[in-house]
Amino acid sequence: MGCRADGPTTIDQGLEGEADFGRSRILSRSTLSEETLRPTRPGVSHGYDVRELWYRLLARRWSCLVVVSPERTPNTLRLARSLGELGTQQRQRLVEVINGLQLDLERANAIVRMVEPPEGIARPTEQRFVIALDSPIVNPIAFGVLAAGDAVLMLLQRGVSKIPEARKISEVVGRERLIGAVLAVE
């Protein structure tokens, strides 16, 4: 069942069944329970419990994961750090987390140079990056960094994220690189 949004509907308003964002899909509350992010401990806001999400992400092939949200939020970096910390523990190799929030052109170029190997040289398969990125709709400089990632995870926030903005991001990213979306509840 599709969900149409012509106005500023938020993710937790009127979302029954599935919301169709272009060709990508975000699961409804009833089926999203396994994909919902919660703080690691009640009352503690330093990280998310991302164990199940990490293992689901490993099933996809990526070396540079971009975490993006339709709005500016520090939770984007929080999710990226949680994934990086758990990934480093599980893999026993560094998963480098990059803060791409509030980008300027110089910082965006530096991030792209860091994650993209020089032409003709393949990136080592064991090297992984997780980039917390501003929405390209909010900050157009983010487009260059977004293009450097080979997989994108969208972070939605209950009561904050709006369906039209999430749709725009899914269209910009493209179905082949948008590997999923998670809903943060707090």
Q: Which CATH architecture has domain 19-184?
A: 3-Layer(aba) Sandwich (3.40)
- Average pLDDT, stretch 140-166? 92
Instruction: Output the 3-class SS for 20-76.
Output: EECCEEECCHHHHHHHEECECCCCCCCCECCHHHHHHHHCCCCCEEEEECCCCCCHH
Which carries the bigger pLDDT value, residue 14 or residue 72? 72
pLDDT at residue 168 tops 70: yes
129 three-state secondary structure: strand
Residues 6 or more apart whose CB falls under 8 angstroms from that of 111 comprise: 98, 100, 103, 131, 145, 148
- In the predicted structure, residue 32 carries a pLDDT above the cut 70: no
Model confidence at 67, in pLDDT bands (50, 70, 90)? very high
User: For the segment 81-108, what is each residue's pLDDT rounded down to a tens digit?
Assistant: 999 999 999 888 899 999 999 999 999 9
Whole-number pLDDT of residue 27 = 35
Residues ≥6 apart with Cβ < 8 Å to 105: 141
For the residues 131-149, what does the mean pLDDT come to? 93
Report the chain's mean pLDDT, rounded to a whole number.
76
**Strand, helix or coil for residue 11:** coil
pLDDT at 111: 95
Higher pLDDT, residue 22 or 135: 135
Model's pTM, two decimal places?
A: 0.75
Name beta bridge partners: 51. none
| For residues 19-39, average pLDDT | 36
pLDDT for 186: 65
What are the sequence ranges of the domains in the chain?
19-184
Query: Which residues, including other chains, have CB under 8 Å from residue 170's CB and lie 6 or more apart?
Result: 21, 22, 23, 24, 154, 178
What's residue 135's pLDDT?
A: 92
